[in-house]
Homo-oligomer: A and B are copies of this chain.
C-alpha cells in the first residue's frame, strides 16, 4: 500500500477521525519505544514542516527515520528509460528505488513540480517512478501535483474547528512574487471534495486548476462574494495551470485582509505555510485569534502519524 493521493484512502472521513483518535492516544501514552521498522525520507526540495513532522511522527510510532537529501548527499538520478547515461546523471531510478526498497520498510519522497514541463509534472513522472520501482510503501511528501499529507492535516484541522455540520470552506488564490506549484491546491480540492463541505474556490481568471481536481468544488471569480458567510478561508498561491507555470497576476487586491475577513461568518484563516506576510495575508489577519495556521501546522504530525501507522505501523 502507498500513500500517493486520496485515491489510496478507502474512507477519507474515517481517516480524519482515526487521526484525531491516534493523536489523543499518543498524548496519553507517549511515543512508542521501538518497532524495529525504519523509513527513508528522501528530499529533492526544501522542507521544514514535512521533514520535521515526518521525523516526529516516525519517532511517535517507534519507527527509525533516516533523512536523505539526494541532491546534496547522493547521485543525480536518471528517470528516462533506455537512456545512454553518458551525461550528468549517475544513477537510474530503477537501481536507487530497488536499493532503498531492500534497506527500509517505507520511503517518503518530496519532489516539486518543474513548472516547465506540464506533461511530465501532471503524469507525476518523478514520483511515479519511485512508486513503480519501489517494492515498499511510498509516501508522497509533496509531488509535482499533490500534497496529500498536507490535505489530510487540513481536513483534520477543519474537523477540529468546525462549528457547524456542513461548514462553508473557501480556497482562495492570493498573490505571490514567485511561481508556485498547484500541488497544495489540487490536493486540497481532492480531499475537500470528499468532505461534507459547502466548498468554493476563488481565483482570478486564468488561474483555473486542472478540471479533474475541480469535481465537488464551486468556482466563484468574485473573491468577496466567495467569502460571504464562509467558515474557513484557506489561502494559497499557485501559478497558472493553463499557461503553465506562469505568473499572470500579482494583484494585491487578492491579498487576504481584515476587510475581506469581515465578510465571512467569523471564519478561521488557514494556510499551509510557509506564508509570505503582507503579500498573501496581512499581519492583522494571520496574527488574529481567527488564524489557525499554527494548529494546522501542528496537525501535520497528526496526519503523518496516521499515514505511517496505516502503511508500516
Mark each residue of chain A from 58 to 91: 1 if its CB lies under 8 Å from any CB of chain B, else 0.
0100001011110011110010011111110111
Q: Is A223 an interface residue (CB 8 A)?
A: no
Chain B residues, CB < 8 A from A87: 177
Cβ–Cβ contact B30 & A86, under 8 A: no
Contact among B38, B56, B293 with A103 in the assembled complex (CB-CB below 8 Å): B56
Q: How far is the CA of A40 from the CA of B55 in the complex (A)?
A: 10
Q: How far is the CA of A68 from the CA of B46 in the complex (A)?
A: 11
Cβ–Cβ contact B85 & A49, under 8 A: no
Q: Smallest distance from the beta carbon of A10 to chain B beta carbons, Å?
A: 28
Q: Smallest distance from the beta carbon of A127 to chain B beta carbons, Å?
A: 18
Cβ–Cβ contact A90 & B274, under 8 A: yes
Cβ–Cβ contact B48 & A297, under 8 A: no
Q: Within the oligomer, what is the number of copies of this chain?
A: 3
Chain B residues, CB < 8 A from A177: 86-87
Chain B residues, CB < 8 A from A75: 46, 48, 274
Cβ–Cβ contact B102 & A74, under 8 A: no
Q: How far is the CA of A217 from the CA of B279 in the complex (A)?
A: 50
Cβ–Cβ contact B294 & A98, under 8 A: yes
Cβ–Cβ contact B52 & A277, under 8 A: no
With A33-B34, A277-B83 already in contact, the answer to whether A73 and B51 are too (CB < 8 A) is: yes
